[in-house]
Amino acid sequence: MKAGYEAVIGLEVHVQLRTRSKMFCACQNLTGAPPNSLTCPVCLGLPGALPALNAEAVRMALGLGLAVEAEIRPCSAFYRKQYFYPDLPKGYQITQGPVALVENGHLDIPGDPRVRGAEAPVRIRIERAHLEEDAGKSHHDLDGGASHVDLNRAGVPLLEVVGAPDLRSAAEASDYLKTLHRLVVGLGICDGNLEEGSFRCDANVSVRPIGSVGFGTRVEVKNLNSFRFVRQALEYELARQTTLLERGASVQMETRGWDAAAGETRTQRTKEAAMDYRYFPEPDLPLLTIEPAEIEAARAALPELPEQRIRRWREAYGLGLDEAQTLAQSPAFAAYFEAVASLAGSGRGAAAWMLGEVSRTLNECGAPIEAFPVTPEALAGLVRLVEARTLGFGAAKDQVFPALLAGEGTADAIVAARGLAQVSDRGAIEGLVARVLEANPGPVAQIRGGKESLKGFLVGQVLKAGQGRLDARLVNEVLGEALAKP
């Protein structure tokens, strides 16, 4: 950000809810089914078909509302938002109106010290979260010039989470988005797949001279289907707008799209082309009323939230923020880590393996932790051996871990069968050190004369004599002691 200017950013996120059925009909809410196979008169918008609200979607919205400490409206309504597009079969979208089920919540994020002046958490307000239905999907690139419409997604429940313009840098926007993403995945209400559009973000962005009270004219950037794109698009847009203001020109209120290939935002539609949606209350749906007992039931059903988990792990295991955040990426990953940590009796050891070899293996296969063939018990067996220094890290990584993956038995059995147990018997190491010192009188004299750098050579000789199975830390220690003696 150029000196003298400040960024003002507010994100609108569409969270696709993982309900079993669609928002207003009994069709399955699934991706990957044959086109138009998950449809019925309601989601096709046939005349006379009546919508009925999905109670599971309401419970999920309540869960999010409580997790962000928002107010839950005891009564809210649905509206018709009219526009014409081929993938919108009814000619209108059913969405919540001026009052939303969830209002005035917040998420706390670390805050960007470069713009806040200090390292301190900042509270980003959530203006509202409202329920609405998704549209179908248009395909313009399937065959030649023809366009195709798939209505499987039409009527799928969305929770639109509208953040206040409280974010002050692209980095903060990205942190907020990741925190919200962890939350909805952690609550189990969204699969969190950005690429497939289960978690869609529109970024509203403006700049203003530092010290001014009002906001500048905002631009809405669409089409941001990765955390990286959000950051890049915002940085590009902040630079573009600042340059305009510095030149004395003004920012146009418009919608822009992120062109990832070109690395720039492009005008999609200007304010003049803005539509009048002619909102009016949906006459086919009753008011959505929430009883206090429903709120209490939703509160009781809340799991431990990702941010609470992250705090607990950092305190209990001394993990870094990034490490803990990565471990909290999904409930299944978190549960696996937690099981290994407690079975192995080492949070740090478990974290190192989860963030290292386990993640690397999953990434290579593009598989989720649910498909990982090694049980937490089996991995904990390996972690225990390494932590106890019975097994060297190199042998653990290169031999035992692949053998565990291949199903060759427990870590203990693999180590025994392959003779990999590390020698941490001080007496045995002292013997080897004595032999190596005797065989290398030259280097020993030089080291004693002050040439410390030669010590590594002797350590190497001892490790070699131990056929790579010696505890390197112990070798260093014993060698140091032996050299210190005259």
Tell me: does residue 265 bind ligand ADP (CB under 6 A): no
Work out how close the CB of 155 gets to Zn ion at its nearest, in angstroms, rounded to a whole number.
6
Number of C-beta neighbours around residue 252 at 10 A: 14
Binder to ligand ADP among 6, 8, 62, 474 (CB under 6 A)?
8
Residue 164 makes contact with ligand ADP by CB under 6 A? yes
Candidate segments 40-48, 293-301, 361-369, 400-408, binder of Zn ion by CB under 5 A: 40-48
Burial class (CB in 10 A: 0-12, 13-18, 19+), 57: buried
Quote the CA–CA distance of 16 and 22 in Å, as a whole number: 11
Among 89, 155, 163, 392, binds ligand ADP (CB under 6 A): 163
What are the CB-based long-range contacts (under 8 Å, 24+) for 95-100?
95/130, 95/131, 95/132, 95/133, 95/160, 96/130, 96/131, 96/132, 97/279, 97/281, 99/73, 99/75, 100/73, 100/76, 100/128, 100/129, 100/130
By CB under 6 A, is residue 327 in contact with ligand ADP? no
Taking the CA atoms of residue 447, residue 449, residue 452 and residue 458 in that order, the dihedral angle to the nearest 10 degrees is 0
Which does residue 164 touch among Zn ion, ligand ADP, none (CB within 5 to 8 A, set by kind)? ligand ADP
Tell me how far, at minimum, the Cβ of 42 lies from Zn ion, in Å. 5
Residues 101, 57 contacting (CB under 8 angstroms): no
Residue range at the interface with ligand ADP (CB under 6 A); choices 4-12, 98-106, 150-158, 478-486: 4-12
Cβ closer to ligand ADP: 179 or 204?
Answer: 204
With CB atoms as reference, the residue minimizing the distance to ligand ADP is 10
Chosen from Zn ion, ligand ADP, none, partner binding at 43 (C-beta under 5 to 8 Å by type): Zn ion
Q: Which x/- pattern over 15-34 shows residues binding Zn ion (rule: CB under 5 A)?
A: ----------x-x-------
The answer to the question of residue 56 lying near ligand ADP (CB under 6 A) is: no
User: Among 205, 221, 351, 385, which residue interacts with ligand ADP (rule: CB under 6 A)?
Assistant: 205
156 binds Zn ion (CB under 5 A): no
Residues 340 and 377: their CA atoms lie apart, in Å, by 7
Nearer to ligand ADP, 163 or 466 (CB): 163
Binding mask 107-146 for ligand ADP (x = CB under 6 A): ----------------------------------------
Helix 331-344 and helix 306-317: axis angle, to 10°? Answer: 20
Binding partner at 231 among ligand ADP, Zn ion, none, C-beta below 5 to 8 Å by kind = none
From first CA to last CA, the distance across the chain in angstroms is 62
Closer Cβ to ligand ADP, 58 or 205, answer by number: 205
Burial of 106 per CB tally in 10 Å (0-12, 13-18, 19+):
middle
Comparing CB distances to Zn ion, the nearer of 36 and 268 is 36
Pick from 243, 251, 198: nearest CA to 221: 251
Least Å distance, CB 284 to Zn ion, is 14
Closer residue to Zn ion in complex, CB, 22/309:
22
What is the smallest separation between the CB atom of 286 and Zn ion, expressed in angstroms?
19
CB of 208 to ligand ADP, least distance (A): 8
Q: Which residues bind Zn ion (CB under 5 A)?
A: 25, 27, 40, 42-43
Interface residues with ligand ADP (CB under 6 A) are 8-12, 162-165, 204-206, 215, 218
